[in-house]
Amino acid sequence: MVWNIEGKTVLITGGNSGIGKATATELARHGAEVTITARNRPHGTAAAREIGAATGAQIGVGHLDLASLDSVRAFAKDYSSNHESLHVLINNAGVMTGRRRLTVDGYEWTFAVNHLGPFLLTNLLTDLLVSSAPARIITVSSEIQRSAKGELDFDDLQMQRGYSPSRAYAVSKRANILFTVELDRRLRSSGVSARAVHPGVVATSFGRDPESPRWMGAMTVMLKPFLRSPARGAGTSVYLATAADDALSRGIYWSDEAPIDPSPATLDEHTAARLWDESQKLVGLAG
């Protein structure tokens, strides 16, 4: 079967602004049936309306707070109950907090939102993806993953020691690629491909949340004229969602619509498998 995104069902987390919204807009223009998620219901509804007005498409919207495992479970149950297929899942939503804080489940916020939430969501939607195969899972990582020195500290994934906002973000982005490596290994025989992307440094509202580091918000404002637009940042996710199957075989990690090599530590299959096992325990999934 030749891959064609037209008529395919697409789910994009954090699709109410920035890269996610730009990705949703472009895939809707390609004829995909797009659903976006948002933490804030009114913001999600407004974004869906704007995307629909720009593309002439009907955009679905769902409430999803990746900082709450109960919210992830509720959303996944609702989505699965109301959709017969899911061809493309884009784990786009991400966060960087200005101080160490815990989610309602007791996990470090950045690691929970950027890794544990998407990990649980993907697992809960895997049956739907497999039944819809061929299907694709695209997870937005970042080149900041290269700054996460050494191996993942499995004895301190919640960063009770040596916490800093940038370190927590880098570790979570490394986890995104390790997750993708193990996910692709597990699902490729079922016709589901997993890929990770670096969108570039993009001019979005990222870093201007009250909980984001002040320096990051200030830097984003100062550098905005030199940063990528959200549309350009969305380019690689859009490419991987629309490209022919043989194009995806060229690599696991992508930027600027081409495969690139991530840090070697992210390709270690033993580490990827161990992170999977630890993540299962943390989110309460059976092994």
Q: Supply the residues annotated as catalytic.
A: 169
DSSP 112: I
What whole-number distance in Å separates Cα of residue 37 and Cα of residue 43?
10
CB 103 within 8 A of CB 167: no
Parallel, antiparallel or unpaired: strands 253-255 and 258-259? antiparallel
CA atoms within 13 A on the CB side of 208: 13
CB 207 within 8 A of CB 152: no
Return all residues near 218 (Cβ < 8 A) that are at least 6 apart. Answer: none
Position 78: which residue type? D
